[in-house]
Amino acid sequence: MPGRPLSGPEIRGLIAEVAERLGPQGAQHVLILVGGSLLAWRGVRDTTVDVDSVRRIDEELRAAVALVALDHDLPPTRLNADAAMFIPATFDQDECEVLLDHSRLLGLGATMRDVFVMKMYRAHPNDVADMIEIWPMTGFTDAQEVVDAFFASYPHAPEDEHLDKFVASIARRAHPGRDL
């Protein structure tokens, strides 16, 4: 995705501007941040190239996003729902943290457990780096717990006899010197 990376404070500011662009009347839209954008929002990562939601973006919200993007010389697709295809089957919106509560826009952040299994599903090199960073925030205690959560989240995923070893390597890299 072209354009400059966005920091957590920039993402917070841009989403607040989107909320204001929606105007005072109408239903409250919901964004559920995941991935690098959520990690940047929470200060776990410095920047990200896009802002991912697992909630679909309707026309009114898309128009507000496009206006804010234009004001900041950003692509109108910088905020997108491309991550919706990775939403875990076990995802529960009620477990999300409220990041922004505006009369027209509710911004939620997925749990770190959900973010972890989503990144595990993709497992690109940058996802692996994020998994190492967020491991301590997930509450997972061992590799088998993660494997069980992964297959509950993605029951269609093919069996992988090495998945527990992959997760154990993430945990060891997150906690060097500890037996996990």
Q: What pLDDT sits at residue 146?
A: 96
Shared domain for 13 and 86, answered yes or no, is: yes
Please tell me the pTM assigned to this model. Answer: 0.92
| CA angle (102 as vertex; 138, 18 as ends), nearest 5 | 90
| HSE value, Cβ hemisphere, 13 Å, CA-based, for 126 | 9
Shared domain for 31 and 104, answered yes or no, is: yes
Contact yes or no for 71/17 (Cβ under 8 A): yes
- Return all residues near 88 (Cβ < 8 A) that are at least 6 apart: 114, 117, 118, 152, 153, 154
Shared domain for 27 and 92, answered yes or no, is: yes
Shared domain for 165 and 83, answered yes or no, is: no
Among candidate residues 76, 110, 144, the one where a domain is terminated: 110
CA-CA distance, 61 to 47, in Å (whole number)?
A: 23
Q: For 106-159, how does the pLDDT look when each residue is reduced to its tens digit (9 = 90+)? A: 999 999 999 999 999 988 889 999 999 999 999 999 999 999 999 999 999 999
Report the 3 state secondary structure along 52-94: EECCCCCHHHHHHHHHHHHHCCCCCCCEECHHHHHCCCCCCHH
Among candidate residues 110, 125, 145, the one where a domain is terminated: 110
Among candidate residues 110, 128, 160, the one where a domain is terminated: 110
Shared domain for 97 and 133, answered yes or no, is: no
CA-CA distance, 130 to 31, in Å (whole number)?
A: 21
Shared domain for 102 and 140, answered yes or no, is: no
Shared domain for 32 and 104, answered yes or no, is: yes
Write b or e for each residue in 49-60: b if 16 or more Cβ atoms lie within 10 A of its Cβ, otherwise e.
ebbbbbbebeee
- φ/ψ of residue 46, rounded to 5: -70, -50
CA-CA distance, 50 to 84, in Å (whole number)?
A: 14
Shared domain for 106 and 118, answered yes or no, is: no
Position 180 in a domain: no
Shared domain for 89 and 147, answered yes or no, is: no
Report the number of distinct structural domains present in the chain.
Answer: 2
Q: What pLDDT sits at residue 176?
A: 78
Q: What pLDDT sits at residue 180?
A: 52
Residues of the chain below pLDDT 50: 1
CA-CA distance, 14 to 65, in Å (whole number)?
A: 9
Shared domain for 103 and 146, answered yes or no, is: no
Position 46 in a domain: yes
Domain range holding 158? 114-174
CA-CA distance, 17 to 9, in Å (whole number)?
A: 12
Measured in residues, the chain has a length of: 180
